[in-house]
Amino acid sequence: MHNTRLQGLKNTHILLIDDHPQDLDDLVNALRVQGTRITVADQPRKGLHYAQALYPDLILLDVHMPDVDGFVVCRLLREIPNCKDIPIIFLTSAADVTDRVNGLTMGGADYVLKPYAIEEVLARIVIHLQGKEPSSQRQRPGLLLQEQPPEQVILQAAVRLIRGKLNHLPKLTEIAAKVGTHDKRLSAIFREQLGMTVFAWVREERLRKTQELLVDSDISIEDIATQVGFSSAANLATAFRERFSVTPTSFRKIKEMD
């Protein structure tokens, strides 16, 4: 299987995160023949740790895994400075179109279905490694990469998720599950890190976003209410006035005169 097109695999480091890694022995062996170093994580949380500690060139990631699925792993990796630019290829039997779209919109570089053709997977890996300096050359000898505290990663992922869904906020249990935790722990993280509950933060974020839209756009108060997740313009105006002692309309006029 040696050929010039696969030379880009030599001296690279790939992290495989899959709860049944033995099923991928043929792919792992093919990669090792090409001179690739492989690290295997058979648990999602172990994979998150290895990604931060080892700084691989590329990650092969399963979707359906116990405790934390691959989408959660991808979402959390994208919040870690040392990991956010590592190409992630989903390698999974999750063939539903929704799964494929979720994986790609969440930050995955590619999505390959099992059963796979080894040659295709190798070719896709080469494509996503093109132009990347191997991690062994990017890291200075003796440099220890600092691991992000799990609570901080979960908080950042939850904040990003909520900001993208202000107009149709999922239930707390769903938000927590999508960032790899449960509702009680997520609530505790918000209180410890931000000094407020999840929904108190959501309310503040909705009002902050309202301020931003009032200043930077000319869309109506009704449309702003819908966009930030208030049930009506009247409810938005009441909350805004309670928080800032001025109505949204007056706030906009004041800013226009500044």
Query: Residue 15 falls within a domain, yes or no?
Result: yes
Of 70, 80, 73, 72, give the one whose Cα is nearest residue 149. 80
Same domain as 79, residue 19: yes
**CATH number of the domain within which 212 lies:** 1.10.10.60
Query: Residue 121 falls within a domain, yes or no?
Result: yes
Same domain as 123, residue 13: yes
Query: Residue 239 falls within a domain, yes or no?
Result: yes
**CB crowding 3-36: b at 16 or more within 10 Å, else e:** eeebebbeebbbbbbbbebeebeebbebbeebeb
Range of the domain at 93: 4-138
Same domain as 164, residue 105: no
pLDDT tens, residue order, the chain (258 aa): 455 567 789 899 999 999 999 999 999 999 999 999 999 999 999 999 999 999 999 999 999 999 899 999 999 999 999 899 999 999 999 999 999 999 999 999 999 999 999 999 999 999 999 877 666 655 544 445 568 899 999 999 999 999 999 999 999 999 999 999 999 999 999 999 999 999 999 999 999 999 999 999 999 999 999 999 999 999 999 999 999 999 999 999 998 887
Residue ending a domain, among 111, 138, 165, is 138
What one-character DSSP code corresponds to residue 84? T
Query: Residue 145 falls within a domain, yes or no?
Result: no
Looking at residue 7, its pLDDT comes to 74
Same domain as 130, residue 75: yes
Structure tokens at 5: 């097109």
**CATH number of the domain within which 104 lies:** 3.40.50.2300
Beta 13-17 vs 110-113: how paired, if at all?
unpaired
User: Measured over all CA atoms, what is the biggest interatomic distance in the chain, rounded to whole angstroms?
Assistant: 70
The whole-model pTM stands at: 0.87
Distance between CA 134 and CA 12 in Å, rounded?
6
Same domain as 250, residue 182: yes
Residues 6+ apart with CB under 8 A from 32: 38
> Based on the structure, what is the number of domains in the chain?
2
Strands (E) across 134-229 are located at none
Same domain as 25, residue 123: yes
Same domain as 129, residue 38: yes
